[in-house]
């Protein structure tokens, strides 16, 4: 079968597995080819040029040989280069980045390009490398919304899902995994007003700058968190997201 050479593809490592005593299987998120599986032969050897480069949450350029056969799901990595620009996130920011990686692993199909989502992910990782504290919550909520929208799992946020009735600005609505956006009693804490949902809907439109969505999420991050986490877990299935469980375990110590 003829082979295609993919060169200098922007990418991030989402996860890596031991393949042999000296090699690794990589799950990478690439700009033009989506989630892709690569084998890095000899990457675990101390002398390997791959060893210091193939790290998560670092911007890379990768080259590999891709078989024309549809049955070839794992492709041999030929070259990898660290692009630079920021250091590795640490502490809570590192855990947040690994959480985003797990979401991408669970929700993205292989070989399905999402260039706009890749650009948003790269922007989020840059922020994680330099910012901590209060910015993390709205940053995660923003990316969760973008990811759900990109893979077609986010219902329209300007109408009630089951009836298509318009939202009342002063009404309260909750995002429910099985039913989408629906009206709830005013006392429901895990909900937003119709006006707030409409602002999020407007911020998610194509062409709207990412900081606009970040600002809208910052205003409602606490109420939005349980709704998005429920929707994400519903679509990710079981088991519970490992990074989420780890963060909950840390908080309970």
User: Is the per-residue pLDDT at 248 higher than 60?
Assistant: no
pLDDT in tens, 62-103: 999 987 665 568 999 999 999 988 889 998 899 999 999 999
Domains (range + CATH), the chain: 3-82 (2.40.50.140), 91-252 (1.20.1440.120)
Looking at residue 80, its pLDDT comes to 96
What share of the chain has pLDDT > 70, as a percent?
93
On whether the CB atoms of residues 28 and 108 are closer than 8 A, the answer is: no
- On whether the CB atoms of residues 216 and 203 are closer than 8 A, the answer is yes
Pick from 147, 156, 137, 152: nearest CA to 223: 137
For residue 251, the model assigns a pLDDT of: 52
For the chain, the three-class secondary structure string (H helix, E strand, C coil) is CCEEEEEEEEEEEEEEEECCCCCEEEEEEECCCEEEEEEECCCCCCCCCCCCCCCECCCEEEEEEEECCCCCCEEEEEEEEECCCCCCCCHHHHHHHHHHHHHHHHHCCECCCCHHHHHHHHHHHHHHHHCCHHHHHHHHHHHHHHHHHHCCCCCCCCECCCCCCECCCCCEEEEECCCEEEECCCCCCCCEEHHHHHHHHHHCCCCCCHHHHHHHHHHHHHHHHHHHHHHHHHHHCCCCCHHHHHHHHHHHC
Q: In this model, does residue 211 exceed pLDDT 80? A: yes
Dihedral sign from CA coordinates of 134, 135, 138, 144: negative
| Residue 197: C-alpha distances to residues 14, 30, 96, 227, 251 (Å) | 31, 31, 24, 12, 29
pLDDT tens column, 179-202 = 999 999 988 889 999 999 999 999
Nearest one of 154, 134, 45 to 92, comparing CA atoms: 134
Give me the chain's average pLDDT, please: 90
- CA neighbor of 185 nearest in space, from 177, 195, 173: 173
């Amino acid at each position: 079968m003829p082979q295609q050479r993919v060169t200098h593809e922007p990418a991030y490592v989402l996860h890596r597995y031991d393949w042999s005593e000296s090699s690794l299987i990589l799950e990478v998120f690439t700009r033009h080819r989506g989630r892709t599986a690569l084998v890095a032969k000899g990457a675990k050897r101390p002398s390997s040029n791959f060893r210091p480069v193939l790290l998560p949450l670092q911007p890379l350029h990768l080259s590999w040989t891709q078989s024309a056969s549809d049955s070839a799901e794992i492709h041999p990595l030929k070259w990898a280069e660290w692009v630079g620009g920021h250091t590795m996130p640490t502490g809570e920011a590192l855990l947040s980045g690994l959480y985003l990686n797990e979401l991408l692993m669970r929700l993205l199909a292989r070989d399905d390009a999402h260039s706009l989502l890749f650009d948003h992910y790269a922007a989020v990782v840059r922020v994680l490398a330099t910012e901590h504290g209060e910015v993390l919550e709205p940053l995660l909520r923003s990316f969760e919304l973008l990811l759900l929208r990109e893979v077609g799992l986010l219902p329209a946020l300007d109408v009630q899902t089951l009836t298509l009735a318009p939202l009342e600005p002063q009404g309260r609505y909750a995002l429910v995994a099985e039913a989408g956006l629906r009206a709830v009693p005013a006392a429901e804490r895990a909900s937003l007003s119709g006006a707030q949902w409409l602002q999020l809907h407007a911020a998610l439109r194509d062409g709207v700058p990412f900081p606009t969505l970040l600002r809208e999420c910052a205003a409602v991050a606490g109420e939005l968190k349980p709704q998005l986490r429920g929707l994400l877990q519903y679509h990710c299935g079981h088991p519970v997201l490992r990074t989420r469980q780890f963060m909950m375990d840390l908080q309970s110590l």
